[in-house]
Structure 1
């Protein structure tokens, strides 16, 4: 009796692409591995292009710092469903020319990270504000091109902002931050770090308007003083962490209030600070003698 022949001709690419391969296989692979599949064959190249056209998240850091400008423009030219876009590792070459087409066709973006993308201009932030009305989280750290007018545009059009990173956006002054706080009362996380223009006025306005604030970074804001930190303690009862390192006018008289509420601070209590300094200067290490 002849044995039944078993059909072994089924290949990976014979599986349904949109229903099986893209959502249940490719979506679990690191982006750099997916991109490398394009080299296998023209069929794999078509599969990868389908994946890139339908992916909800694009994180350039998964590709390292070697992502070419031409490759970036090609990879996302057909995508209109992005929800997360992280371009931190593209900071060396990313300009408005590359970013604007991606922003213009993706109206569902919720999270955008442009940290240190210094070659962009205020035009990019205006485009984000007009194209991404559902935006919740944006990182603009070290983007000194962010100015008051472009931030106002963002705040006016993006009504659901919950996290904003404005670290080292040195063009911004108190009035811009006050406008942000008045219009985006649902903000939970805000960084104003490394900005000598920010003073008590911005912090107090943030405290009084953003009652759901959980995380605030004021590192290096030299004009911030105890008065605004006390206002923060009074109004922001949900605060979980506060960074005030290098804020030389902020002392324990205000921080102690937050410390009693178990708010995480990046500054040690006075006694511990003194012991650390002493140890650094003379090599002294405090100890307790447990001998009886």
Structure 2
């Protein structure tokens, strides 16, 4: 009997549960290329994999497509700061993984609204959608999200300027269970927007509006006043202090 090999360990009970989750996507890809047995181990794992973190990864589109071709059970996906990824590759992922609940596309500058639309239409159970610094998030993109989604609890559109009060109101009216909202550096945000948000989303406990120069002290204080009247006072007081800390400047 020869020495034990890694593949002699139980795949599902040991390797997939206690070894692979501690490896980065790049490490897993290198592992795949060692031998045929490791390739089979990798492919079987990716078929059942629920979480894939490629944040700041650098690779070619060809490698990305090969890496993810077996993924069909993803619930958590981060492509943050992957400026190389394109719409076509992501659309394939979104079509094959309708159970996605967490998606981070922040800083993916090479995309357009095409990939987002496939994600929104095909993956109906999203609770976290992070799109910070995505100039391709247009008013049409916001409206597609409102029309097709219903369970968002965390949303990040920081640095995305193509939006107005009408779109904001539709969004806040639809997603009344929002817990966390990031709208830093969103120029169209105004005091009126905050007032509407305060009434529409009583569950909100984290709000980032840093760099929103149209928002005044009065708007921030009015937002704090309205939310403090909705119960959960300890959480709301902390939120009010956070808002005051994050405002870019004091406006008289």
TM range (shorter): 0.7 to 0.9
> What are the within-5 Å matches in structure 2 for residues 194-209 of structure 1?
194-209=185-200
Is residue 114 from structure 1 mapped to residue 105 from structure 2 by the alignment?
Answer: yes
> What are the within-5 Å matches in structure 2 for residues 75-94 of structure 1?
75-91=67-83, 93-94=84-85
Name the counterpart of 2:231: none
Is residue 147 from structure 1 mapped to residue 138 from structure 2 by the alignment?
Answer: yes
Is residue 38 from structure 1 mapped to residue 24 from structure 2 by the alignment?
Answer: no
Is residue 138 from structure 1 mapped to residue 140 from structure 2 by the alignment?
Answer: no
Q: Which moved more, 1:11-20 or 1:192-201?
A: 11-20
> Does the 8 A contact of 1:96 with 1:121 survive in 2?
yes
Does 1 or 2 have the higher relative contact order (CA < 8 Å, sep 6+)?
A: 2
**Cα gap change, 1:30/1:117 in structure 2, threshold over 3 Å: closer, same or farther?**
closer
Secondary structure of the residue that 2:151 maps to in structure 1? coil
> What are the within-5 Å matches in structure 2 for residues 44-193 of structure 1?
44-61=38-55, 64-91=56-83, 93-193=84-184
Secondary structure of the residue that 1:146 maps to in structure 2? coil
TM-superposed deviation, 1:53 = 2.1
Is residue 18 from structure 1 mapped to residue 7 from structure 2 by the alignment?
Answer: no
Q: Structure 1 length normalisation: TM-score?
A: 0.77
> Does the 8 A contact of 1:212 with 1:236 survive in 2?
no
In 2, the alpha carbon distance for the partners of 1:108 and 1:227 equals: 42
Gaps in structure 2 of 5+ consecutive residues: 229-234
> Does the 8 A contact of 2:195 with 2:219 survive in 1?
yes
Is residue 245 from structure 1 mapped to residue 239 from structure 2 by the alignment?
Answer: no
Structure 1 residues 24-48: Cα deviation after superposition (integer angstroms, max 9, x where no partner): 3322333332222123211111211
In 2, the alpha carbon distance for the partners of 1:245 and 1:204 equals: 16
Structure 1 residues 184-225: Cα deviation after superposition (integer angstroms, max 9, x where no partner): 000011111112211112111111111111111111111112
Gaps in structure 1 of 5+ consecutive residues: 1-6, 252-292
In 1, the alpha carbon distance for the partners of 2:250 and 2:161 equals: 19
In 2, the alpha carbon distance for the partners of 1:247 and 1:104 equals: 44
TM-superposed deviation, 1:175 = 1.7
In 2, the alpha carbon distance for the partners of 1:9 and 1:144 equals: 55
TM-superposed deviation, 1:244 = 3.2
RMSD, aligned α-carbons: 1.9
Q: Structure 2 length normalisation: TM-score?
A: 0.88
Secondary structure of the residue that 2:77 maps to in structure 1? strand
> Does the 8 A contact of 2:202 with 2:227 survive in 1?
yes
Q: Which has the larger radius of gyration?
A: 1
In 2, the alpha carbon distance for the partners of 1:31 and 1:244 equals: 35
Secondary structure of the residue that 1:168 maps to in structure 2? coil
TM-superposed deviation, 1:161 = 0.5
TM-superposed deviation, 1:180 = 1.1
TM-superposed deviation, 1:156 = 2.3
Secondary structure of the residue that 1:220 maps to in structure 2? coil
Q: How many matched pairs? A: 241
TM-superposed deviation, 1:172 = 1.3
